[in-house]
Amino acid sequence: SQQGEEDPQALSIQEGENATMNCSYKTSINNLQWYRQNSGRGLVHLILIRSNEREKHSGRLRVTLDTSKKSSSLLITASRAADTASYFCATDPNTGNQFYFGTGTSLTVIP
């Protein structure tokens, strides 16, 4: 399968703490994207990192990409209750017209 796999499946932290989620994939990619989904809603794009980039920041988000290990991590710093959601990585492989999503990490931030 070309799908990304997120780890852990679920994560619960206190407000103010940092949250780290990981994504592993199997094929070479053009880019990797992270999305957030609030319960029962559509996905919202957070950040895109290209295959030739190693790290990218956006506000409280930091994404790293290690193409040699075929893995990525999403770090959310100083978490807030509003960050409670599911987080998905999506891989854009070098072939085909599809993006491949994993099962997601469910993050709960306790106020």
Partner 1 sequence: ETGVTQTPRHLVMGMTNKKSLKCEQHLGHNAMYWYKQSAKKPLELMFVYNFKEQTENNSVPSRFSPECPNSSHLFLHLHTLQPEDSALYLCASSQGLAGGQNEQFFGPGTRLTVL
Binds partner 1 by CB under 8 A, chosen from 90, 105, 107, 109: 90
**Cβ nearer to partner 1, comparing 64 with 93:** 93
Q: Please report how close the Cβ of residue 36 comes to partner 1 at its closest, in angstroms.
A: 10
HEC-encoded secondary structure of the chain? CCCCEEECCEEEEECCCCEEEEEECCCCEEEEEEEEECCCCCEEEEEEEECCCCEEEECCEEEEEECCCCEEEEEECCCCHHHCEEEEEEEEECCCCCCEECCCEEEEEEC
Binds partner 1 by CB under 8 A, chosen from 102, 105, 107, 109: 102
Question: What residues between 24 and 53 interact with partner 1 by CB under 8 A?
Answer: 30-31, 33, 35, 40-45, 48, 50
